[in-house]
Amino acid sequence: MFIGHFGLAFAAKKVAPRPSLGTLVLAALLVDGVWPVFVLLGWESVNIVPGITAVTPLLFKWYPYTHSLIAGAVWAALLAGSYYALRRDRNGAWWIAALVLSHWVLDFISHRPDMPLWPGGPLVGLGLWYSVPATLAVEFLLFGAGVWIYVSTSRARDLWGQVLLWSFAGLLAAIYVASVFGPPPPSVQVLAMSGLLGWLFVAWAYWIDRHRAAVAA
């Protein structure tokens, strides 16, 4: 799952209005942001095996510290707890925790059985990635619905509020389509380094939210 995670972050703004969109995106993408660092350090591992699924050539060999269910709960507690300590926003903290955990749920739906419940535990996954049409339908449905909810609950303060949002959404969609239909990454190192660029989308989401305001109920 890729843009589906962003879709949930956008949608969460309706029920968690106080956290910035950037914080919500950070929550939804946290484990994917840490994963490339762990791969480069040798703590987690992945191979590139074209054809292993119809959507992605990635064979995830060992990633329990970012993508196991237990690890997800720990990351959720760390991020939500840090947010609550800074903002004293209980509702926002709960939704941030839910977004972090939602990453495992969406990945469980999309991955082949390689998602650990805990380090060394059973591997699970429903395998949505075996079907390109089904994967595209689910991803774009989640993403489109999330963006629509965010747009319906916020308004642009200025022109930047429109430009930043729609360029963000358009670029994400283009990157996703290119990743599905393009060639596999040339190496694990290139894959991990490109994964680190995902942190730029977190910063971009903070930028978007600074130029948009909540629509009064």
Report the pLDDT value the prediction gives residue 217, as an integer from 0 to 100.
54
Report the pLDDT value the prediction gives residue 61, as an integer from 0 to 100.
96
Q: What are the residue ranges in the chain where pLDDT is below 70?
A: 216-217
**Buried b vs exposed e over 101-113: b needs ≥16 C-beta within 10 Å?**
bbbbebbbbbbbe
41 alpha-carbon distance from chain centroid = 21
Count how many domains the chain has. Answer: 1
Inter-residue contact 206 to 21 (CB < 8 Å) = yes
Report the pLDDT value the prediction gives residue 1, as an integer from 0 to 100.
84
Inter-residue contact 182 to 10 (CB < 8 Å) = no
Tokens representing 4 are 């589906």
Report the pLDDT value the prediction gives residue 163, as an integer from 0 to 100.
98
Cα dihedral 115→116→119→120 (10° resolution) = -110
Q: Give the domain extent around 64.
A: 3-214
Give how far Cα 178 sits from Cα of 66, 78, 181, Å.
25, 33, 5
pTM comes to 0.96
